[in-house]
């Protein structure tokens, strides 16, 4: 049992934050005190569902162009926000499962050991949309980036002859040849064939 003189102020604070009316009053006070010039824009964006984060998220999720504005990359902070959203959405859509091996690996504290990868490197296309992403475990990620693996027109894995390995090993890359990849059920969120073709033409080591 808690001591009789123990303050209950923290619980009251939690209750206030959970109450919509109290939360709105507090939010308004903070805006009036610290962000008076941005208050009108913030409230308008909140009610309309628009604003920078909404625009970026719509772009990443490949919603119809009419629903979002053109996204410009002006600062390192912008790139950081976009990269965080890209990683979050790719891992969520693939359920932290490697598209090539089907491996699902998440720690008890929720950390995913699967990477959110760009098909066309971000440094080349500056494209953080879901259609330019794929979830791969680290060894598949390295092989994909180095052109040892790619994906064909039927979403099947194609393997380069440009390396040596123990083909009898359980995890031989060549055993992946022709296997269908694991991808989101919604067609909208699958890797686009345009990006996969770019990877086959520019990264994949065919001969």
Distance, CA of 204 to CA of 179 (rounded, Å): 17
In a domain, residue 9? The reply is no
The count of C-alpha atoms lying within 13 angstroms of the C-alpha of 7, restricted to the half-sphere facing its C-beta, is 4
Report which of residues 190 and 72 the model is more confident about: 190
In a domain, residue 156? The reply is yes
In a domain, residue 86? The reply is yes
| The predicted structure's pLDDT at residue 110 | 84
In a domain, residue 135? The reply is yes
Domain count, the chain: 1
pTM for the whole structure = 0.66
CB atoms within 10 A of CB 79: 14
User: Looking at beta carbons, which pairs linking 122-125 to residues 24 or more positions away fall under 8 Å?
Assistant: 122/83, 125/198
Q: Is beta strand 149-151 parallel, antiparallel or unpaired with respect to 133-136?
A: unpaired
Q: Give the model confidence (pLDDT) of 28-66 as tens digits.
A: 777 677 766 555 555 555 554 455 556 666 767 766 544
Distance, CA of 138 to CA of 140 (rounded, Å): 5
In a domain, residue 13? The reply is no
In a domain, residue 109? The reply is yes
In a domain, residue 15? The reply is no
SS3 180: strand
Query: Is residue 8 pLDDT above 60, yes or no?
Result: no
Task: Measure Cα distances from 56 to 52, 131, 150 in Å.
Answer: 6, 15, 28
Q: Give the model confidence (pLDDT) of 109-167 as tens digits.
A: 888 999 999 999 988 988 889 999 999 999 999 999 999 999 999 999 999 998 999 98
Q: Which residue range forms the structural domain that includes residue 167?
A: 44-202
In a domain, residue 30? The reply is no
């Amino acid at each position: 049992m808690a001591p009789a003189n123990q303050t209950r102020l923290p619980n009251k604070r939690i209750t206030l934050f959970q109450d919509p009316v109290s939360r709105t009053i507090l939010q308004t006070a903070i805006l009036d005190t610290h962000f008076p010039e941005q208050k009108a824009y913030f409230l308008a964006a909140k009610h309309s569902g628009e604003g920078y984060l909404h625009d970026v998220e719509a772009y990443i999720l490949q919603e119809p162009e009419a629903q979002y504005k053109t996204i410009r990359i002006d600062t390192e902070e912008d790139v950081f926000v976009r990269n965080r959203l890209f990683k979050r959405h790719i891992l969520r859509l693939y359920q932290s499962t490697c598209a090539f091996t089907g491996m699902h690996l998440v720690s008890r504290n929720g950390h995913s050991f699967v990477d959110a990868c760009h098909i066309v490197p971000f440094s080349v296309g500056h494209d953080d949309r879901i259609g330019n992403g794929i979830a791969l475990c680290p060894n598949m990620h390295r092989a994909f980036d180095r052109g040892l693996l790619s994906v064909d027109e039927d979403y099947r894995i194609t393997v380069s002859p440009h390396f040596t390995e123990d083909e009898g090993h359980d995890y031989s890359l060549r055993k992946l040849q022709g296997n269908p990849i694991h991808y989101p059920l919604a067609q909208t969120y699958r890797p686009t064939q345009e990006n996969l073709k770019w990877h086959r033409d520019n990264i994949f080591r065919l001969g």
